[in-house]
Amino acid sequence: MAEAALDAVRRELREFPAAVRELNVPLAVPYLDQPPTPLHFYRDWVCPNRPCIIRHALQHWPALQKWSLPYLRAAAGSTEVSVAVTPDGYADAVRGDRFVMPAERRLPLSCVLDVLEGRAQHPGVLYVQKQCSNLPTELPQLLSDLEPHVPWASEALGKMPDAVNFWLGEAAAVTSLHKDHYENLYCVVSGEKHFLLHPPSDRPFIPYGNKQVAVLTNCRPPEGPHTFLPLDSEMYTPATYQLTEEGSFKMVDEEAMEKVPWIPLDPLAPDLARYPSYSQARALRCTVRAGEMLYLPALWFHHVRQSHGCIAVNFWYDMEYDLKYSYFQLLDSLTKASGLA
Amino acid sequence: MAEAALDAVRRELREFPAAVRELNVPLAVPYLDQPPTPLHFYRDWVCPNRPCIIRHALQHWPALQKWSLPYLRAAAGSTEVSVAVTPDGYADAVRGDRFVMPAERRLPLSCVLDVLEGRAQHPGVLYVQKQCSNLPTELPQLLSDLEPHVPWASEALGKMPDAVNFWLGEAAAVTSLHKDHYENLYCVVSGEKHFLLHPPSDRPFIPYGNKQVAVLTNCRPPEGPHTFLPLDSEMYTPATYQLTEEGSFKMVDEEAMEKVPWIPLDPLAPDLARYPSYSQARALRCTVRAGEMLYLPALWFHHVRQSHGCIAVNFWYDMEYDLKYSYFQLLDSLTKASGLA
Q: Over the stretch A260-278, which tens digit does the pLDDT of each residue have?
A: 899 999 999 999 999 999 9
pLDDT tens profile A310-330? 999 999 999 999 999 999 999
Predicted confidence at residue A210, as pLDDT, reads 63
Contacting residues of A for B13, CB less than 8 Å apart: 330, 334
SS3 content of chain A, % helix, strand, coil (to 5): 30, 30, 40
**Per the CB < 8 Å rule, is B327 touching A331?**
yes
pLDDT of B2 higher than 80:
yes
Mean pLDDT of A85-95: 94
* pLDDT averaged over every residue in chain B: 92
Give how far B249 is from chain A: nearest CA, Å.
Answer: 42
What does the alpha-carbon distance between residue A101 and residue A92 come to, in Å, rounded to a whole number?
5
Which residue of chain B has the CA closest to A219? B1
Picking from A322, A329, A334, the nearest residue to B9 by CB comes out as: A334
Residues of B in contact with A5 (CB under 8 A): 6, 216, 226, 228, 337-339
Q: In this complex, do B326 and A20 lie within 8 Å of one another by their Cβ atoms?
A: yes
Nearest to B323 among A3, A4, A49 (CB): A49
State ipTM: 0.91
Q: Do B330 and A333 touch (CB under 8 A)?
A: no
C-beta atoms of A324 and B325 within 8 A: no
Give the model's pLDDT for residue A231: 42
A216 vs A247: which has the higher pLDDT: A247
Give the max Cα distance, chain B. Answer: 71
Instruction: Please tell me the predicted confidence (pLDDT) of residue B233.
Output: 63
pLDDT of the residue at A211: 43
Q: What is the pLDDT of residue A304?
A: 97
Best B322, B331, B335 member to test A by mutation, with max A CBs in 10 Å, is: B322
What's the rounded Cα separation, in Å, for the pair B38 and B295? 13
Backbone angles phi, psi at A99, to 5 degrees: -100, 110
Q: Is the dihedral of CA A243, A248, A249, A252 positive or negative?
A: negative
Confidence of residue B256 (pLDDT cuts 50, 70, 90): confident
Nearest 5°: phi and psi at B309?
75, 15
Other C-beta atoms lying within 10 Å of the C-beta of residue A322: 19
Confidence of residue B210 (pLDDT cuts 50, 70, 90): low
Coil, helix or strand for A309?
coil
- Distance between CA B72 and CA B82 in Å, rounded? 15
pLDDT tens digit sequence for A147-203: 999 999 999 999 999 999 999 999 999 999 999 999 999 999 999 999 999 999 999
Mean pLDDT of B150-174: 97
The tens digit of pLDDT for each residue in A202-246 reads: 999 999 876 433 333 333 333 333 333 444 467 899 999 999 999
What HEC string does A105-130 produce? EEEEHHHHHHHHCCCCCCCCEEEECC
pLDDT at B264: 92
User: Is pLDDT of B20 > 90?
Assistant: yes
Question: Residue A223: exposed, middle, or buried by beta-carbon count in 10 A (0-12, 13-18, 19+)?
Answer: exposed
User: What is the biggest distance separating any 2 CA atoms in chain A, rounded to whole angstroms?
Assistant: 71
Q: What is the average pLDDT across B17-26?
A: 94
User: Over pLDDT 70: what percentage of chain B?
Assistant: 93
From the CA of B128, how many Å to the nearest CA of chain A?
Answer: 35
The least confident of A15-19, B10-14, B223-227 is B223-227
- Find the residue in B nearest to A20 (Cα): B326
The predicted-structure confidence for B37-75, as pLDDT tens digits, reads as follows 999 999 999 999 999 999 999 999 999 999 999 999 999
| 3-class state of residue B326 by DSSP | helix
Give B280→chain A minimum CA distance, Å. Answer: 18
Instruction: Give the residue-averaged pLDDT of A272-299.
Output: 97
Residue B231, amino acid? L
Mean pLDDT of chain A: 92
B155: closest CA of chain A, how far (Å)? 9
- The residue among B203, B215, B323, B329 with the most chain A CBs within 10 A of its CB, best to mutate, is B323
Neighbour-count burial of A147, counting CB atoms closer than 10 A to its CB (0-12 exposed, 13-18 middle, 19+ buried): middle
Answer for the pair A57, A188: CB distance below 8 angstroms, yes or no: no
Disruptive mutation site among A10, A24, A43 for chain B (greatest number of B CBs within 10 Å): A43
Nearest CA in chain B to A334: B9
